[in-house]
Amino acid sequence: MTSAIGLSGLQKTYPGAPPVRALRNADLAINDNEFFTLLGPSGCGKTTLLRLMAGFEVPTGGKLTLFGEDIAHLPPEKRPINTVFQHYSLFPHMTVLENVAFGLKRLHKSDAEAKQVAQQMLDLVHLADFGDRKPGQLSGGQQQRVALARALAPQPRVLLLDEPLSALDLKLRQSMRAELKRLQRETGITFVFVTHDQEEALAMSDRIAVMSQGEIQQVGDPATIYEFPENRFVAEFIGDADFFEAEVLGGTEYKLSNGALLTGPRTEAAIGSQVTLFFRPEKAELKQSGSGLPGQVSEILYLGNSTDYVVDLAQGGALTVRSENHKDGTALADVGADVVVEIDPAAVRVVTT
């Protein structure tokens, strides 16, 4: 099966002194009918990659295909790809309906057909009665949905969305997440979604590509990205993690840099070599006594549905344990309490740095 969008060795360098290498040798295959997310910190090249797909930038190297066809040098109007812009970019001098019908008219659909499809699209985003308004008379959330309807109306093969939710408040953002998922399912169009919000990415995506400094670090479904990050950047960027430098003792045994021993996964690394271990703070357990790493609670951060306990380890160093409170709402331990941190070997991961 050919992928909806394929990149191989795709590069974009902006001229300047020094030149900015916004995208370096990106290889990626986005499947048809997939909700695919580009996730990464500010400046990592997400928008650049999206603009290359849309046709607003020309790559400086590599290949870009749409269903197997090379599109790297096609102008935007020749690509069956539409974009939802970050600030919506609705045409202020046209009504909502004219905005949504714009792409259809440009594709030489008859006025009647364009109008009818545009109205269907407005129904789809629950704005059926807003067709006669100007974009300036809508709230941010409504403008957002018009932008979606406008981009979906010509039935593109791929829909690109550049941080479409970032200008909305928290509640609206959460309801729009569900809305976007629904639209993707109902239309069957491939969505390429850009965000720097890891929670959003995990909640919505079929697959995620994590980017950093113009490079794709890892591609996978949300659970794989969260549970088995391939390197320290991905582990740190998605969720929280406690890291340790450790020496491989052989088998499943590791010696942490503070001298403590820890059991983890089997590794290919040679005995005596240095590796980085990490685990998610919610996978460790805080105990009054028992086997594990002894220490003292130095700080408590109450998060509502859970609490973070920062534990100073007796042998040096510190780590964070995330735990639910007792059912009656009381904390597991107070600041200053002596505790033992138990880490299940199955929760420990080895990453390359």
Ligand X SMILES: Nc1ncnc2c1ncn2[C@@H]1O[C@H](COP(=O)(O)OP(=O)(O)OP(=O)(O)O)[C@@H](O)[C@H]1O
Provide the minimum distance between the beta carbon of 110 and other proteins in the complex, in angstroms, as a whole number: 15
Rule CB under 8 A: is residue 15 a binding residue for other proteins? no
The SS3 of residue 62 is: strand
**Which residues 16-55 are close enough to bind other proteins by CB under 8 A?**
54-55
Rule CB under 8 A: is residue 59 a binding residue for other proteins? no
Rule CB under 8 A: is residue 157 a binding residue for other proteins? no
Cα 99 from chain centroid (whole Å): 29
Say which DSSP state 347 is in: G
Provide the minimum distance between the beta carbon of 160 and Mg ion in the complex, in angstroms, as a whole number: 12
Which H/E stretch holds residue 49? helix 46-54
**Which residues 23-62 are close enough to bind Mg ion by CB under 5 A?**
47
| CB of 317 closer than 8 Å to CB of 257 | yes
73 binds, among Mg ion, other proteins, ligand X, none (CB under 5 to 8 A by kind): none
Provide the minimum distance between the beta carbon of 12 and ligand X in the complex, in angstroms, as a whole number: 8
Residue 1 CB burial class (10 angstroms; 0-12, 13-18, ≥19): exposed
The contacts of residue 284 (CB under 8 Å, 6+ apart) are 242, 319, 321, 322, 341, 342, 343, 347
State residue 200 phi and psi, 5-degree precision.
-60, -45
Distances (CA, A) of 177 to 36, 189, 240, 318: 14, 16, 23, 36
* Closer CB to other proteins, 107 or 346, in the complex: 107
Rule CB under 5 A: is residue 142 a binding residue for Mg ion? no
89 binds, among other proteins, Mg ion, ligand X, none (CB under 5 to 8 A by kind): other proteins
Rule CB under 8 A: is residue 92 a binding residue for other proteins? yes
Provide the minimum distance between the beta carbon of 209 and other proteins in the complex, in angstroms, as a whole number: 22
Choose one: 25-33, 72-80, 180-188, 340-348; the region binding other proteins (CB under 8 A): 72-80
Rule CB under 5 A: is residue 184 a binding residue for Mg ion? no
* Closer CB to ligand X, 40 or 295, in the complex: 40
**Which residues 1-30 are close enough to bind ligand X by CB under 6 A?**
14, 16, 20, 22
| CB of 288 closer than 8 Å to CB of 295 | no
Cβ-count burial 140-158 (b if 16+ within 10 Å, e if not): ebbbbbbbbbbbbbbbbeb
* Closer CB to ligand X, 115 or 196, in the complex: 196
Rule CB under 8 A: is residue 294 a binding residue for other proteins? no
| CB of 185 closer than 8 Å to CB of 177 | no
Tell which one of 102, 226, 244, 278 touches other proteins (CB under 8 A). 102
> Where do we find the tokens 């697959």?
207
The contacts of residue 139 (CB under 8 Å, 6+ apart) are none
| CB of 213 closer than 8 Å to CB of 48 | no
Rule CB under 6 A: is residue 212 a binding residue for ligand X? no
Tell which one of 10, 26, 44, 54 touches ligand X (CB under 6 A). 44
Choose one: 36-44, 101-109, 112-120, 227-235; the region binding ligand X (CB under 6 A): 36-44
Of 16, 97, 26, whose CA–CA distance to 61 is shortest? Answer: 26
Rule CB under 6 A: is residue 320 a binding residue for ligand X? no
Binding mask 213-252 for other proteins (x = CB under 8 A): ----------------------------------------
Tell me which residues touch ligand X (CB under 6 A). Answer: 14, 16, 20, 22, 40, 42-48, 196
